[in-house]
Amino acid sequence: MAKRVLIIGSIGLVLAFLGYQLFATQMFDIKPEQSSNSCAEPKGMAFVEGGTFTMGAGAVYAEEMPAIQRVVKDFYMDRHEVTNLQFAEFIEATGYVTMAQRVPNADDYPDIPAELLTPGSAVFVKLSQAVEASTFFNWWHFTEGANWKNPLGPNSNIQDKDDFPVIHIAYDDAQAYAKWKGHRLPTEAEYEYASRGGLDGAKYASGSTLLNNGKYIANTWQGLFPFNDTAEDGYVGLAPVGCYPANHFGIHDLIGNVWEWTQSVYYPRHFDPSHLPANLPAKGYDEKQPGIAVGVVKGGSYLCAEDFCMRYRPAARHAQDTGLGTSHIGFRTVKDP
């Protein structure tokens, strides 16, 4: 939470929590004139017929290894990420307060002075803006007052963004929404199986490339990261849901746009569920965040770039502090037949 050192999402750099400044980012800038995509919010859930697949990969990131065979049962999955409108309906019905809107529990952060524990979340800042502010070493800033309703801080809002993915979502927030819907979060295996869209073993969700007939299949970063996103895929920052083609299962945006929570605990390698080591910590483990409860996020985000972070692949995974959301973490739900 506030003023503490964390490793965040696909960036994997240290957050600066002291002397931060809120910047106007391009997170919501849309450039439809560069896009050949048509956006339509698909309704309901898609049926995913279960099967056996190869989970993980080799020779890209160590945490994706070893590749193992997994069996997934039938399930239903949201056709797109949970949107601001959908999450607002949950808040209206329940009065739920997200983790980013709460004062962090001091017991969870015994090394942090209580006066530094404040509500907020991590916001991405383009490096060109960070350089201007003499904070070029860091493009993530903990921003007091940043949350799902105020994605850039207290002076921002989500007006006219009903169909955008909700962000700044922590693990408990996603779990609470799923329970309210009578759903659950996907397991890591279910998410990866669905994102492969029936292409077992393929590098990308579309096969050997992120392009399909010359068109981007996901919202990622094109250009020199983190200086300039050329928006060749049609968007700088977040895109509304449903702007990229559905996969074989009829599901959109399982790759790119926002990282998405799974219900799975993170460990820095794959284990066969039937042969789990006895000494694995129940709250997960990430050597970059020792002592922190960590879950698995999947799918990559609009900040994944070919020259920096190739985590827009089905096999990609990342450790995320379960108590912290960011400006590129959202979620979707599943349910059993």
pLDDT at 128: 55
Range of the domain at 50: 32-84+160-335
268 lies in a domain?
Answer: yes
* Residue 115 included in any domain: no
Mean pLDDT of 181-203: 94
Outline where 52-101 has alpha helix (H).
84-94
- pLDDT tens sequence across 33-56: 344 457 877 889 999 999 999 999
Under a CB-based contact definition with an 8 Å cutoff, are residues 305 and 44 in contact? no
What does the pLDDT average to over 144-160? Answer: 96
pLDDT band at 196 (very low <50, low <70, confident <90, very high): very high
What confidence category does residue 277 fall into, taking pLDDT thresholds of 50, 70 and 90?
Answer: confident
What was the pLDDT predicted at 37?
58
Domain count, the chain: 1
- Is residue 9 domain-resident? no
pLDDT exceeds 50 at position 16: no
The DSSP code for 115 is G
CA–CA gap between residue 274 and residue 74 (Å, rounded): 20
Q: Where are the alpha helices (DSSP H) in 48-117?
A: 84-94
Residue 149 has pLDDT above 80, yes or no: yes
Q: Are 254 and 48 in contact (CB under 8 A)?
A: no
Asked if residue 134 belongs to a domain, the reply is no
Is 45 inside any structural domain?
A: yes
Residue 127's pLDDT is: 61
Q: If we measure between CA atoms, which residue out of 239, 300, 283, 220 comes closest to residue 9? A: 300
Whether 140 is covered by a domain: the verdict is no
Average pLDDT of the residues in 213-220: 90
Q: Tell me whether residue 206 is in a domain.
A: yes
Residue 273, judged by CB atoms within 10 A of its CB (0-12, 13-18, 19+), counts as: exposed
Per-residue pLDDT at 19 exceeds 70: no
- Whether residue 229 is contained in a domain is answered as yes
What CATH number does residue 233 fall under? 3.90.1580.10
94-142 pLDDT tens trace: 999 999 999 888 777 777 778 778 999 999 876 655 445 444 346 788 8
